[in-house]
A and B are shown apart, each in its own frame.
Chain A
Amino acid sequence: MRCIKGIFLLCGMWLSLSAVAQEEMTFRTELNKTRYQSLVEELRCPKCQNQNLADSGSGIAVDLREQVYQMIEQGKTDQEIVDYMVARYGEFVLYRPQHSTATFLLWYGPFILLGIGLLAFIFVVMTNRKRQGRAL
């Protein structure tokens, strides 16, 4: 009995948590709403570090969502909003880091490794072929 009560309580808490995560907001245009949705999904919550602003129920995430909403309605561009967040919370808040010298390896490292792998593969195939040619 106790256990069932506990489960109900947990479910209730879970429901109320997910209810907190999104406030009622009315947008001037449908486009603004779409921009808002994609921005809060793209920006990372600085408090609960593995959640984006859309998913997080922490106080700061609520405030930052409100800020994004205000800035969109004020006619700020997406870039201006992202810059505003980065100026305060750092590159950390971006789930897609900006391209810079510091993030060069992060963005292009895999392609460089792929290139090296391809070259190595070609090299091995070529030498094998040469060796086989000699054997014949």
Chain B
Amino acid sequence: MKNDLIEKKLNLIQKLRINLATRFPRKGKFFSYPDYVRDAKEVINAYFEKGYGKELIQELEREDYGRLAESFGQRENIYEHMSDDEKRDLFEGYGNKEILLCVDKKSLLSGYSLESSDYKYLYLRTNDMDYLMGLSKEARGRQEISELVREGQIPQEQVEALYDRTKNNTFLPFLPEKKILQLGIDGELKKDDYKKLNTMGDLLKAKLVYLNPKAFLDLNIQDEEVLSKLARKVDLNEVISTINSSERTEFINSRENILKYLDKSNIQKYVVDIIKQSKNNPEAVINLGSTLVNKGIPSELIESINLKYAITGKYEFYLGVGRNIIERNFQGKDESEITDIKKAFEECIGKKTGNEREDIKIEQEVTEKYFNILKLLNNERVIERVSKEDIINYMDSNMSYESICNIVEKAYGEKAVSILRERPGLGIIDIPNFDIFEPEIMDLIGYGGVHTYLTYFMESKDVITEMVENPKMIEEYKKYRDVVKDFYPPSAIGLEDTMLSFRRHYDLLSQTFEGEITDELKENILLMLRDEEFFDNDMEVGNVDIDNNKRIPKPKKITTVEQLSKYKEIRNAEYDNLIRNSKTDQKRKLILAKYFGYISDSPGEYNDYDHKKFLEDYLTFNRTEFSDYELDSIELYDIISGINDDQVLEMFNEYLEQSQVISPVDMKSIDSKVIESYKKEYLDSILSIQEAERMINSDRKSEKYIEKSDGRKIYKDRIVSGKDTLYNRLSKNGELIQLIQTSAGKKYKCGNRSYEIRVDEDGKEIEEGNKDVLELFEDGQVLENSMVVEDGDVEIYELYDVDKQISVHAVRQFTSADFVKEHPELGITRYGGAYELENNDAEIRIMMEKNLEHGIASRSMYYAFDTEALRVEVGYGYTSLDPNSIIGFYIGDARTSHGLKRLRVSMNTLKNSEILSASKKAPRSSEIATLRYEYDISKINPNTRGGRNEMDFILAMNDLKEAKKHAIAFSKPIIHVNSQKQLTNSERPKVRQEREKSEFIQNMEKIADGDER
């Protein structure tokens, strides 16, 4: 057909040349003919007849002659003319792929070695194969193979394997890679086809998944690197979320290597399924935990689900998993060595004695100990470099500072340990991982960078670990850092953001850095990062809101260098499209995002601060100078924020397109400067410890709100909104008493005894059980109080410190930040505690990770009472309270013009001046001005133990706008507690005066007097 068409177009001279070439074939001449001569069938025939076939076929190795393969194949069995090396190359995928099309099928079958890599070859579905090979059905395939065996063309030992390849009505045609990808693009492949394609190379499979993400469910990709790249390009979680529970379990079980790419929602669902199936089989749960830890899944996630189904206790879980991990990581070492290390691990975790109080304590401490021990035992490099004795000493000394220094010195050398020696107050909890001491990492992040990781809670600690595993990332990171050096501040936050954004875009950046980084590419990277801030943070970006209103959709992720090079055009077109199709408010928001970048400014929303207010307040910010250019940019932004006319907005957008105008990258530094000024003011507002102590001590005289007649201080919990459910645990004479309180009633439990008060269907109160339990409860000493919360639930309760004899009421509001949102029945707190809902009968409890030593919540939390914000921090990470590391209260006055006035009552913290002077010693990257979590400031001084607690949220009472300043300064959500009376401006001076006296005391007294909210 092809030759007919050609022939029709040929002129007389051309026909003559073909005729001559056919009549007089000459050695070495064929490939000098023009195409129309070479393509002529009669010419090819003539050359083969003359015996020049082998020569012609060898020339086919040249890509540009590949199209002749089919014609040659029709004339002669090309395969016979190939040398062994050429055949091997062909099957290994290195030869001219076009030749595959002309190699006779029998030759392929006989020559195809099943031991060779089938990397480039794959199955196709029947129709394609019919088209190419004229052979498709299994029966025909088998028949064909049998014939070839009979003819001696296929060795008998390959038959079974060849049969395998004929299953499911497929046979084994071989196709060039590009053909397969074309098929994928054309959408010709169907679900069943993908399953059959599982024999091809992982890279090809990944490419097919890229073209059709759903194919991931049918293609098993084993290569870690390929999978990791794929996960960055394709939302595998979305694909997996489309299948049902049993399919999911089966799928993940057969592909454990995908676990680390799954989001929490999918992992949770998977783990829940597995744990449900493992009922009454604690061993299976422990094994699951160990396996998943090995795959990078956090143990606490598994434990929390284990807790829900109560297969094993928390203690037993971590003990079991820890033992398994030791066995796995020390495999190959001497048996007695493993036994000794396991023994030390068990001793360090603690052994239960049967004494309830002590056992509870062990249970409460097990999680933290487990994680701290694993920092060492899960680090291959450290295990390689330090001796058994050092490892055991680390655990025997309960991970003491000296033992940590010893490990760091042995594993990473003198330079590393010298940094650690500068911080004698640190504990293992403060060291995110040992990888920060790796010499290449220390070179990369510098001395200040290492201190930063020791000082702040840095999510990017995992990027460090990844860099240690894949050193190529370090060089790429350096290039990236050079691009963003003016975009992110030279600070802890800057380091964190640079690391995290590098990781987020690693695949794209890695491709980009293979070539030249032009100024245009650099600008586009910055613009992309700036746009990302908007699309990641703005409240209106997403699918639909709670009222089903359409939200701003997220743009597609940029994944190729080509897209990046055209980023500006791409994003402008996307913005324009969104602007055209949005209502006024969103239209304005999008225009601002397009030209100014992300600066949240919707009053009443989280993370908001008001530019107008900022401009008015500017003069009060004495520390930070703003240029006219900066102030005018903010002013312009604020003016545009007030425009409500669609026509004006659209015309504005249209006109801006036509000129050189302000860009989001310009605005980034201005916005950062505003935030910075809030931070500085905030720091200035921190009171000295001495003053704080004075205030708290004077409070001893006004404990009238502690009501017990015998002088003991007992508190009551109350929930003012939400599910109204509560769980208390108290002890009396060594017995554990529990209260479960819901809107349906209360149940007190002590051992097998219980006492219940509930309301029946007729509204009548019913009391049942042993009333002694109630009495025990009322006299008991509080061990723990907790409750089930939903996003936005508010709890009011009293905090009581036995040693200090202090008690205060507090309001606490939970946020989604505390819980994993995806699963309504099961949540995990950020700190590893979990809450559970049992059998839907409202018997609910939260287990916080940290113990409630001395009756006070021991994890870092924010509270508020009356109009003041209060933060409580107790002995974080320590088994018993050191008298010098007691409670840290932050008491903020939300009513002052700007800045919550915070009262810091932590004896191991420092006053402002000391903090600042300490920071001067540190290099830029750890300057205090960039402090991210306020509690962390206590850690700048080497002599403090301090904590490492992320600030959960900014609690706003009356003055939301003031709190918003701080929320944006710390990139944290605002929690707005309603119910407070609003103060007018005229009341403010009075309030300030009273505060001078001691607002803290007044407020506590007010609450104690029954000022219920």
Q: Do the two shown chains form a genuine complex with each other?
A: no
